Amino acid sequence: MSPAAPIRWPAEAIWEAVAPVLPGFTVEVLPTVDSTNTELMRRFRAAGPAAAEPVLLVAEQQSAGRGRMGRAWQSRAGDSLTFSLGMALQPADWSGLSLAVGISIAESLQPALPAAGQPRIRLKWPNDLWLADARDERKLAGILVETASWGELRYVVIGVGINVRALTLDPTPVAAGQAAALAPAALQDILPGVDVAQALALVAAPLVQAVQAFGLFGFAPFQARFAARDALAGRAVQLSDGTEGMAHGVGENGALLVHTAAGMKEITSSEVSVRPLARQASPGSARPC
């Protein structure tokens, strides 16, 4: 088998688009790393302000990628796009940042909303992108936001993992009574032929702009855009603590609004997970960095 062709990353084009509005911005590509989020946090904690210049760190392959609530994930070169954006940020309120990131990525990958019906790329509170069709919903991408402080300086690392290449599952027959596994969602399902480099070119500059806007104005300006792609609105959901209710969108602070037997609850804790009780989403492979 011949070796895979090297990936031609659009680093210069991204730098040219972003540097004028984000001084000091750089793009760095690593062939392999344990986790792009871990690497940027490691640099900041070792050097503080000296390592706080804005950077987009891309990994062709990760060996210890991390998702929300400590979930592990590994990526194979070319199958998925994994990167982290690290920069100093001082919003008045951090609530809703992962939602704003998800909105930016979804709009970059599927800019136009359909005239009727739901968009293919939807947002599942608080940090996932789902790809939907008439039969199922599968995870397309995940987001992991982490912050650290050094004196008055606050540093944020935004990790993104996007399934790009369609994968073929092991055809081994499933046991009696078990449902056949669905292949993870992939960007190629809606953008045939797209590769990881092209995907990065689509999402990188708009993501920086979205994060800058969030730093200035918070989540409120993103609220209606999230509602247009909200995968949970109007659906019965169950929280990880067992509470059940009906999802009613998100508030101006990015909190999930769930109407329960005890009344409306604002769900904000990063330790709470939410799953729909109907039309279960199949597991996907995308995990951020």
The residue whose two tokens read 């935004």 is 158
Q: Is residue 57 located within the same domain as residue 184? A: yes
**Structure confidence at residue 151 (pLDDT):** 95
Q: Does 1 fall in a domain?
A: no
Q: Is residue 193 located within the same domain as residue 61? A: yes
Q: Is residue 218 located within the same domain as residue 265? A: no
What CATH number corresponds to the domain at position 106? 3.30.930.10
Q: Is residue 121 located within the same domain as residue 263? A: no
Q: Does 2 fall in a domain?
A: no
Q: What distance in Å separates the CA atoms of residue 163 and residue 150, rounded to the nearest whole number? A: 34
Q: Does 26 fall in a domain?
A: yes
Q: Does 98 fall in a domain?
A: yes
Q: Token digits for 64? A: 């210890």
Number of structural domains the chain divides into: 2
Nearest to 199 by CA among 14, 4, 47: 14
Please indicate whether residue 275 is annotated as part of the active site: yes
Please indicate whether residue 265 is annotated as part of the active site: no
Q: Is residue 111 located within the same domain as residue 150? A: yes
Q: What distance in Å separates the CA atoms of residue 78 and residue 3, rounded to the nearest whole number? A: 12
The amino acid occupying position 129 is L
Q: What distance in Å separates the CA atoms of residue 81 and residue 60, rounded to the nearest whole number? A: 7
Opening angle at CA 195, ends 120 and 8, nearest 5: 150
* Options 122, 139, 229, 287, the catalytic residue: 139
Q: Does 6 fall in a domain?
A: no
Q: Does 55 fall in a domain?
A: yes
Q: Is residue 166 located within the same domain as residue 249? A: no
Q: Is residue 155 located within the same domain as residue 38? A: yes
Nearest to 145 by CA among 158, 130, 132, 155: 158
**Structure confidence at residue 210 (pLDDT):** 98
**Structure confidence at residue 243 (pLDDT):** 87
**Structure confidence at residue 281 (pLDDT):** 43
Q: Does 283 fall in a domain?
A: no
Q: What is the 3-state secondary structure (H, E, C) of the chain?
A: CCCCCCCCCCHHHHHHHHCCCCCCCEEEEECCECCHHHHHHHHHHHHHHHHCCCEEEEECCECCEECHHHCEECCCCCCEEEEEEEEECCCCCCCCHHHHHHHHHHHHHCCCCCCCCCCCEEEECCCEEEEECCCCEEEEEEEEEEEEEECCEEEEEEEEEEECCCCCCCCCCCCCCCCCCCCCCCHHHCCCCCCHHHHHHHHHHHHHHHHHHHHHHCCHHHHHHHHCCECCCCCEEEECCCCEEEEEEECCCCCEEEEECCEEEEECCCCCCEEECCCCCECCCCCCC
Largest CA distance in the chain: 61
Q: Is residue 200 located within the same domain as residue 240? A: no
Q: Is residue 236 located within the same domain as residue 225? A: no
Q: Is residue 219 located within the same domain as residue 269? A: no
76 touches 60 (CB < 8 A): no
What CATH number corresponds to the domain at position 265? 2.30.30.100
Query: Could you list the residue range(s) of the whole structural domain that residue 247 is in?
Result: 232-278
pTM: 0.88
Please indicate whether residue 120 is annotated as part of the active site: no
* Options 43, 66, 68, 287, the catalytic residue: 68
- Per-10-residue mean pLDDT for the chain, 289 residues long? 77 98 98 96 96 97 65 68 98 96 98 88 96 89 97 97 80 51 84 97 98 98 97 92 92 95 87 68 52
Q: Is residue 242 located within the same domain as residue 103? A: no
Q: Is residue 163 located within the same domain as residue 39? A: yes
Q: Does 3 fall in a domain?
A: no
* Options 42, 45, 71, 275, the catalytic residue: 275
Nearest to 133 by CA among 80, 191, 189, 181: 189
